[in-house]
Structures are given as structure tokens and as C-alpha cells.
Amino acid sequence: VQLVESGGGLVQAGGSLRLSCSTSGLTFSDYTIGWFRQVPGKEREGVSLISVSSGHTYYADSVKGRFTVSSDNVKNTVYLQMNNLTPEDTAVYYCTAVKLLRPWVLTARTLRWELMDYSGQGTQVTVSS
């Protein structure tokens, strides 16, 4: 199984970026794809989830209304559209994959790193003020 993030970079506050998570080696529709982020010295933070099979999504309060997660079931790729970025969004962003028994139930309890089955290497997002 391989998850590869791309699309990170440097952007000014108020700008946008779209991250991609390209997956291989798994049955894409069986999984829920998550996005997490981490700043050095701080705890890893859950950002978003999308159930590929059902389309259900979940967002952390810190990004709700600004970030949108979507999936392309032909390309086996998940996207994280990030708008109105602030310096507080600066972090390494990781995509993850987990097979859930109830993928239509996505909550804060689901958005936990320790539950994830697979993760990528991360992509750096830097937002300048």
C-alpha cells in the first residue's frame, strides 16, 4: 500500500492550495481517507475524513468552512482543497487510510491517528502572513 501526498507549498495568508493523496495497492472503495497535520513540537491534529464508498465527510472545527475534501474514484485519489489559509494552517500534512466497519459514521472519535492503517510521507504547507 502506498499513499503519496502532493500539492504542498508556500502561500500567502488568504490564499488557497489543493493537496492530493494518490493511493495504490489497496481497494480504494473499501477505505476512508483521512488528512492530518503536524507542526514540529506539537501534537498531530486530525483535519478531515472522507468515506470513499459513501461520500460521507467529516471536518475538524478548525478547518470547517474553509477546507473541502473530495475523492476521484477513477484515479484513486483524494483531494483536500484549502481556502482562506492562515499562518496557523502551516504544518506537514499527511494522508491516511483506514478500513472502517461503519464508514458512514465519521466523528471526532474516528479522526484519530492511532486508528489509521496506512499513512503517507507528508507534504509541507507554509502560509506566510
Portion of the chain with pLDDT greater than 90, in percent: 93
Give Dmax (Cα) for the chain: 42
Between 102 and 99, whose confidence is greater?
Answer: 99
Burial 48-83 (b: 16+ CB within 10 A, else e): bbbbbbeeebbbbeebeeebbbebeeeebbbbbebe
Portion of the chain with pLDDT greater than 70, in percent: 100
Residues 43-88 have pLDDT tens digits of 999 999 999 999 999 999 999 999 999 999 999 999 999 999 999 9
Q: In the predicted model, is pLDDT for residue 104 greater than 90?
A: no
What's the confidence (pLDDT) of residue 103? 86
Q: In the predicted model, is pLDDT for residue 101 greater than 90?
A: no
